[in-house]
Chain A
């Protein structure tokens, strides 16, 4: 193991969070990680460490991962205190070891947030995100009912804005990066995607109130630090949070009965 095309490797000092379960007390495991190929991805580095641990009879580190293309949103760890690590607009799985230097110490922790309890080692429970979507993160269009797609023209700039917001991969880095563990960026991304589109208008105000209030049931409050945007692998704009705040205030009037508006 560890043979590499260009032969360059790194010797690293890793501090990795280990925790048996949600109720267990966790601690850091220090590992001298020698001969890490620079061409390995960050997760392939963890694969290598796990192979070595297994060889030594130590249970490997549990870490979340799946597509390894930066799109499924499964992966994500704190790397030296930064969600997804040092490279901007890059999910953990797309980060490569050539971004580190020989002799570096790398501290690897799970997302830290009350709404994301640690399940094991670096894996957390993000189901609160699903609850926010279930609260209203959809357009009700039962299968088979719609008209021809081109009967709803959507101006290009509206479609582009919706797509900018919809690019969110639901990884949770925004929550992990936020000092308040707020989920405003995640919620605003879905809300704006649907609320700017003509198809999203009928349910706009109900959706807004339900999603925001469900979010508040689980997550902290936003104080405009902007760390979420910095950590976001898809660079979702903070403007969407402003959009959500405006729609939320409006929703309080719009959701009154029509006669009382």
Chain B
């Protein structure tokens, strides 16, 4: 019987983390070397955790499926990282960052976790600056800030448009130092394909060597998953091609509850799909909305080019509907409105699937050089991808899947419902509720890795002092090894007719259509019939060529798509059960008369955590009720 105990510490919100740090068990410095910890994933959360644990003295094994830890998709984050430093003297504080994050998350996150996140945000900037992360500076040499994603204060730190890259390289370099020191053993090109559990506790993992195809067992006192989000369930997203849900899903099948899988953030400013062959979507930084004006033709099915449409026939829908926030409304609101106008038949571009983001007014006001200075890199990127010059023609944008707020359920210690199994970063559910604010993903990944897990993991390890790890010869390992090997090899025996890519694309179409920006009961029920049918066809008819005993990119992908096929069903089920709208989850049945998301706090102020019951049995829903003692629940309004 699963009991969801969030282990929220006692005391007022501002004292909880301090109280907790004092009450968790400690491992004596000299004893830390007697513990082995596995960290899977080397993005911001994984690399920072592996480096910090190794610095403390633990023996760390770090795993990545990339050729180098530095390739993790954290590297692609552009905008910045929030911290409540109040360097601008503009009224920011830990409490304000906490408040904004809870409100921005549409009151579906855990207060205590969010408060801690805001607290440690201060340490993150100190840590990264000391590592040499080249943050933007003022002429006086102090750190620069910008306002981001509609925040009312300037609290975002950045390194040009490559903040994620620079923060990840900082964490990667800290990890490299520990590899050199012999405290971290790095396993690259290793795909984690299962979590091993003995007597209810996590004791290791199974990996596949992506160069030789061999499967290996690894044992440890604790296992940490920092394996990112599930955005690629949509096939097209801003995620990297290899991002997947496998590690989290395999853990889920071994007993870790999966929380809020229906929460997905759709980012409003991406380049629209141009073709059937499109492999991924590219995000254009949200900062473009500071100067660009979003519009579509008032007339439906207008075939004229943008230049031919006079001002009076342009529909600046965000400015009209939300006079005070205008083009700077939060991501979920901007995305939904773009969908509405495109669905109405006002879409622009060859496929009528975008809206204009027009810089003509700011070019006329500030001059082309000022605009180039601000957005030159982004304009170049847009031109490379679309072949259109955004200095002359308005950009075309459309929302795309970007970040996933749901993930493995974790308690305040970041431990899942499987003792000894931890989950960090985007892979867990804990801090963003139903919608994530801009520049908060990097903050959370590094908070978890640098400043939370290193304190909380001792609580699990301390009582195990002197215990050996479970030997990899134990039947739990040999059984898991056999299963993973068999599953992987079996794909080459299917000898079907369609590629893995084909099935992934088909799955994406279903999930996007029925569980994308707007969801309703009929559509979700339809998806619940279509997904299992597709999964069955996929398993019978997928075509994987080549050998399992060596490099085989199709084989790597087929395991991931197989897990997405199961995960997609849970995601849809969660979306169906949550009959309210909140944040990134918009149920058409639950909206205000003006068409805004309408929460139902009476019935849905809880975390939905799902328990796996086996492949052909419906999962069981567990609820963690969310108590709001510090932030008052209100209907968000951006009018």
Contacts and interface: CB of A to CB of B under 8 A. Distances in A.
A and B held together in a complex: yes
Contacts of B551: 21, 62, 119-120, 123
Interface stretch (A68-76, A176-184, A237-245): A68-76
A259 interface: no
Interface in B264-306: 274-280, 282-283
Given A1-B276, A6-B350, A54-B543, A155 B137 contact: yes
B277 A94 contact: no
Given A96-B385, A193-B132, 4 more contacts: A40-B275, A66-B66, A69-B76, A143-B174
Given A129-B68, A153-B140, A37 B545 contact: no
23 contacts: A1-B276, A3-B277, A37-B277, A57-B545, A60-B546, A66-B240, A67-B76, A70-B381, A72-B240, A87-B384, A98-B387, A126-B67, A141-B131, A144-B52, A145-B130, A146-B127, A150-B87, A156-B141, A159-B136, A162-B132, A170-B68, A199-B129, A199-B132
A147 B135 CA distance: 16
Nearest to A161: B134
B67 A125 contact: yes
Interface in A123-173: 123, 125-127, 129-130, 133-135, 137-150, 152-156, 159-160, 162-163, 166-167, 169-170
Interface string A70-105: 111110000000000001001000111010000000
A58 B545 contact: yes
A213 to B, nearest CB: 14
Contacts of A5: 274-275, 349-351
B554 interface: yes
A200 interface: yes
B387 A96 contact: yes
A57 to B, nearest CB: 7
A199 B130 contact: yes
Interface residues of A, number: 86
B375 interface: no
Closest 9 CB pairs of A and B: A153-B141, A146-B130, A138-B173, A149-B129, A141-B130, A5-B350, A163-B134, A162-B134, A143-B52
Counting chain B CB atoms within 10 Å of each CB, which of A48, A135, A156 scores highest?
A156
B125 interface: yes
Contacts of B384: 87, 90, 94-96
Nearest to A169: B165
Contact of A193 (B134, B283, B351, B502): B134
Nearest to A2: B277
Interface stretch (B175-183, B246-254, B414-422, B532-540): B175-183
Contacts, number: 233
Contact of A47 (B138, B140, B240, B501): B501
Most interface-central of B72, B75, B130 (chain A CB within 10 A)? B130
A65 interface: yes
B176 A138 contact: yes
B126 A147 contact: yes
Interface in B163-209: 165-166, 169, 172-174, 176-177, 179-180, 186, 188
A73 B450 CA distance: 25
Nearest to A126: B67
A64 B67 contact: yes
Interface residues of B, number: 84
A14 interface: no
A200 B131 CA distance: 8
Contact of A62 (B66, B275, B553): B553
A140 B54 CA distance: 13
A137 B173 contact: yes
B465 interface: no
Contacts of B350: 5-6
B129 A170 contact: no
B476 interface: no
A44 interface: yes
Nearest to B499: A54
Nearest to B70: A170
Nearest to B272: A5
B143 interface: yes
Given A156-B139, A170-B68, A197-B134, A44 B240 contact: no
Nearest to A149: B129
B225 interface: no
B552 to A, nearest CB: 8
Contacts of B186: 130
Interface in B138-172: 138-143, 159-160, 162, 165-166, 169, 172
